[in-house]
Amino acid sequence: MKRNFLQLAAVALAFALGGCSDDNTIVSPNGNQTINPIDNPIAKCHNGRFVGAVEDNGVLSFKGIPYAKAPVNELRWKAPLPAEASNDTIQAKDFGNSAIQPYSPTETASSRTRSEDCLTLNVWTKDLTTKNKPVMIWIHGGSYISGGTSDPLSEGKFLVAGNPDIVLVTINYRLGLMGFIDFSHVPGGTDFPDAPYLGILDQQMAMRWVQQNIEAFGGDPKNVTIFGESAGGGSVCCHLVAKGSEGLFQHAIAMSGALNLTFSQKDFDKYDMAEALLRLSGCYTMDELMAIPEERILELIEMETGRFGIEGGSILSHLNNHPMRDDERSIIPTDPFKALAEGASKDVDVIIGSTSEEMKYWAYLYTYLGEDGLQLFCDRFLSGKEEEARQALGEGGGVIDKFIETAVCEQDEVSAKYPKIWERTELQTEMFFRMANIIMARNHVAAGGSGKTYMYYFGKGLENPDIKWLGACHSCELTYAFNIENFEKLGPLDPVLTKNFSTAFTNFARTGNPSLTGIVWTPYTPEGVNTMVIGNDCSMKMQETPRMNQVDLLLPYYLKFYFNK
């Protein structure tokens, strides 16, 4: 569900490689020049000898490594298959293709080549000789419909430079109508049972590739942490309960994403992306859909239809389906919250967290619609979400109005022009993010396993004067997590908080405990001092659950709202 604040153009550097004379030498195509292996590190994996690069800070990077067969032709909308074994020498110096997605000026990955052939990953490591280093696998966000590993907010070289004992992996996966679509009502659709959660299967395949190959980069396959933000955080939570994810990781960090970011069959039927695809493409059967050229699919997701949407102009790019939850049809159970409480991943250490003003980011997206953008945010987005909640809660719908009347939010020039905008936005922050986080944390504790549970609440806002009104909005903590000290568009970034927050995550990857020197991060309990609060003053302190009055008001109604019954 994340979008970037900065659009960057990626520059691809072509470098032709020839055969290998031995394990340590690369010979150029004409055979007359030997390329220095010190500047061209080689990692031998089961599917190739990958030639990486040395970043400007000395970190080694290997980019665009395929972890599965390209899901094209007869493999379109099918579960991923492992990459075939190979001894070929392959350049790994640039990110792979981005997944099929709509172009957006706020999403860097969409400005790169977009293709069905997108199942690649990237590895950053300080050296190839040190062994048994903890491994962190990053799953990007983007509403399950956009994003990619080329996102500068998740640039890997800074995290590894500050933590040279860590191996970092970032992965691409199928998105939108290629990764999360239900064909059960389309003639021939029963032959594509995995289509509603292909992106999750892709992530599992990437994790299996890591298990098989990460030792070539110095990583320890028995000490793996998965982490992600937004849809990436939701994906992390899916793996906590999904069939096939067992044993692929030992620790998990879910940033601004929880088990609520899943769809029931009823949700798929309501939005019916498959029907929209059939209508816009003029197809009637799966055979016809399978025959659509990739170029036509890219055209369809950009097609203007009159359907209102800030995350793309067409109905296909507006419908951001989530992974399917269904005991009969999916690898994700129908009630994933219950599955967590019953012991799924009870022995996995988990960090769950959110920012204090998540939904202000969506207000920011609406400013792209012009001068009336924030008015549309109030009239369409907020009003629509509030009405959905009232319908779901029935007689309990009055809690929505009570929350808006009693919430305490900082007032500014925006709220002076649009009364109650921030109180209404705060309601959505709670309903979409924090309520699900708290239920997950409580259920993971209740499971009684050996896995510890930790929670954070990130309140350090943006400092760029032009966007300071966004506060601690969705995705604002990414630069801190990735140890990125300089990101101009976001304003000054505190170097101490950057180091502390990223080190808390890497400590967690090392040992399952995110505590720092002088900052003890204690496990979550339903009561008492249970949350690491990152303040706007850059402090990190354990406190009781913030805004507990809001939690008490909404939490009793949340699961009824989530399951819409």
Q: What is the 3-state secondary structure (H, E, C) of 91-129?
A: ECECCCCECCCCCCCCCHHHHCCECCCCCEEEEEECCCC
Indicate the SS3 state at residue 68: strand
Region 363-388: what's the mean pLDDT?
91
Rounded to whole angstroms, the Cα distance separating 255 from 233 reads 5
Rounded to whole angstroms, the Cα distance separating 39 from 319 reads 44
Rounded to whole angstroms, the Cα distance separating 171 from 541 reads 32
Rounded to whole angstroms, the Cα distance separating 91 from 104 reads 29
- Domains, in order of start, for the chain: 20-345 (3.40.50.1820), 354-563 (3.40.50.1820)
For residue range 117-145, list pLDDT tens digits in order. 999 999 999 999 999 999 999 999 999 99
Rounded to whole angstroms, the Cα distance separating 424 from 387 reads 12
The gap from C-alpha 548 to its chain's centroid, in whole angstroms, comes to 27
pLDDT at 9: 26
pLDDT band, residue 565 (cuts 50/70/90): low
pLDDT band, residue 32 (cuts 50/70/90): very low
Whole-number percent of the chain with pLDDT over 90: 80
Characterize 432-462 residue by residue with b for buried, 16 or more Cβ atoms within 10 angstroms of its Cβ, and e for exposed.
Answer: bbbbbbbbbbbbbbebebebbbbbbbbbbbb
Assigned token pair, 342: 């019953």
For residue range 259-311, list pLDDT tens digits in order. 999 999 999 999 899 999 999 999 999 999 999 999 999 999 887 654 444 44
pLDDT at 351: 98
pLDDT band, residue 12 (cuts 50/70/90): very low
For residue range 434-452, list pLDDT tens digits in order. 999 999 999 999 999 999 9
Region 163-174: what's the mean pLDDT?
98
Count of all residues that appear for the chain in the document: 565
Residue type, 78: K
pLDDT at 368: 84
Beta strands 53-54 and 60-66, pairing class: antiparallel
Q: Rounded to two decimals, what is the model's pTM?
A: 0.93
For residue range 316-345, list pLDDT tens digits in order. 877 778 999 999 999 999 999 999 999 999
The mean predicted confidence, pLDDT, of the chain is: 90
Q: What are the Cα distances from residue 56, in Å, to 39, 59, 60, 158, 455?
A: 11, 7, 9, 10, 35
Residues with catalytic annotation? 230
For residue range 207-253, list pLDDT tens digits in order. 999 999 999 999 999 999 999 999 999 999 999 999 999 999 999 99
Residue with tokens 């009502």: 185
pLDDT band, residue 563 (cuts 50/70/90): confident
- Helix residue ranges, H only, 245-372: 265-271, 273-281, 286-290, 294-302, 315-318, 336-341, 360-366
